[in-house]
Amino acid sequence: MDYIAKDTRYNEMEYRRVGKSGLKLPAVSLGLWHNFGSNDSYSNMKELVMTAFDNGITHFDLANNYGPIYGAAEMNFGRLMKDLLRPYRDELIISTKAGYDMWPGPYGDWGSKKYLVASLDQSLKRMGLSYVDIFYHHRMDPETDLFETMEALDSIVRSGKALYVGISNYDGETMKKASAILKELHTPFIINQNRYSILDRTIERNGLKAAAREERKGIIAFSPLAQGQLSDKYLNGIPEDSRIRRDGRFLHESDITPEKVERIGKLNALAAERGQTLPQMALSWVLKDEDVTSVLIGASKSSQILENLEVIRRAPFSEAELKEIDFLIADGR
């Protein structure tokens, strides 16, 4: 098909500067963690990507092992680039990561230079790209010296295979150490990717949010809906087609307690008072201050993307609303 992006794609999206860098990201980015695997519908992937880009989402986030199978999301995104997005490459921010298990043996996991360089080479081949805009180390490595991992990121930028680098799932203390190394190497480290939501305040407790502000680095938040908990999906029990039923790796039936359902119901009522759905309020909460550059959404239907994009027109939270949200989730923090 001959895809022509809408002329109005930049009319409404909000773009936020990534830390002190020259790069800006859309306030809402599309993550390809789910629904872009080997068992998913390619025609639906096209609809998702076209809907996103037509509405100003210029950032598409991947990782080497997104699937299933490992590598499938990058392969499918490579097809999408060829079929739809190639003429728009210079309007896109494409990111990928390495740090979790990818292939057997001692060289397909964690944070060695051997792994990171080889993984990015594979990612570029799968996507049919000569470079990515952002390459992340996906998680802290307790055994590899931090300098080796950071030097690997530096060498990747110098090779021309990435424009910027980031780190993901780091705590504040380790992030500051990494930042110091990369500053010494003159590496364009600009962003942290971490889980963050109304229900998961880990980056506030482990110092990452404060450290990013101090170091003037961006934050992009994933799982802003807490794996679907911040929706109306579980208010009346666990649906048979829910992610818990399909894939219980990241969210378990035991997570959906009666007490949590009650709190989520009250959050849902507050969202309605604000004229939002619960997912819209949850995304608005993540974006409420300048510490967070962008929020990563996932979608299985284009209508979900359009619903989430309503946060661009969000009303600011009152102090009373923020206090009520904190009070409602206090027992589960």
For 269-319, the pLDDT digits (tens) are: 999 999 999 999 999 999 999 999 999 999 999 999 999 999 999 999 999
Rounded to whole angstroms, how far apart are CA atoms 264 and 234? 9
Return the structure tokens found at 96: 């990928």
**Position 260 in a domain:** no
Q: What's the whole-number mean pLDDT along residues 58-84?
A: 98
Q: Omega into 94 within 30° of 0, i.e. cis? A: no
CATH of the domain at 203: 3.20.20.100
Parallel/antiparallel/unpaired status of strands 218-222 and 189-195: parallel
3-state helix/strand/coil string of 67-127: CCCCCHHHHHHHHHHHHHHHHHHHHCEEEEEECCCCCCCCCCCCCCHHHHHHHHHHHHHHH
pLDDT at 119: 98
Tell me which amino acid residue 130 is: S
Q: What percent of the chain has pLDDT over 90?
A: 88
Number of domains in the chain: 1
pLDDT at 235: 79
> Which tens digit of pLDDT belongs to each residue from 225-279?
998 899 887 777 666 666 665 565 656 666 778 888 899 999 999 999 999 999 9
pLDDT at 44: 98
Return the residue matching tokens 């203390």: 173
Q: Give the domain extent around 47.
A: 15-228+277-316
Nearest to 94 by CA among 7, 154, 23: 23
**Position 197 in a domain:** yes
Neighbours of 333 (CB within 10 A): 12
pLDDT at 256: 74
Is pLDDT at 332 greater than 50 in this prediction?
no
243 vs 204: which has the higher pLDDT: 204
Tell me which amino acid residue 86 is: R
**Position 254 in a domain:** no
238 vs 191: which has the higher pLDDT: 191
pLDDT at 239: 64
**Position 266 in a domain:** no
pLDDT at 6: 98
Q: Which sign, positive or negative, has the C-alpha torsion 311, 312, 315, 320?
A: positive
Rounded to whole angstroms, how far apart are CA atoms 190 and 68? 29
Rounded to whole angstroms, how far apart are CA atoms 1 and 46? 10
65-86: burial string, b at 16+ Cβ within 10 Å, e else? bbbeebbbbbbbbbebbeebbe
pLDDT at 238: 64
Neighbours of 266 (CB within 10 A): 14
Rounded to whole angstroms, how far apart are CA atoms 31 and 297? 6
Return the structure tokens found at 203: 């980056």
Rounded to whole angstroms, how far apart are CA atoms 126 and 78? 6
3-class DSSP assignment, residue 61: strand
**Position 201 in a domain:** yes
pTM: 0.94
pLDDT at 259: 86
- Say if residues 45 and 51 touch (Cβ distance below 8 Å): no
> Which tens digit of pLDDT belongs to each residue from 130-148?
999 999 999 999 999 999 9
- Say if residues 199 and 329 touch (Cβ distance below 8 Å): yes
Provide φ and ψ at 132, rounded to 5°: -110, 160
pLDDT at 148: 98
Q: What percent of the chain has pLDDT over 70?
A: 93
**Position 8 in a domain:** no
Return the structure tokens found at 329: 């989730």
Return the structure tokens found at 299: 């979608």
With cut-offs at 50, 70 and 90, classify the pLDDT of residue 7: very high
Rounded to whole angstroms, how far apart are CA atoms 115 and 83? 30
**Position 5 in a domain:** no
> Which tens digit of pLDDT belongs to each residue from 8-36?
999 999 999 999 999 999 999 999 999 99
**Position 24 in a domain:** yes
Neighbours of 331 (CB within 10 A): 9
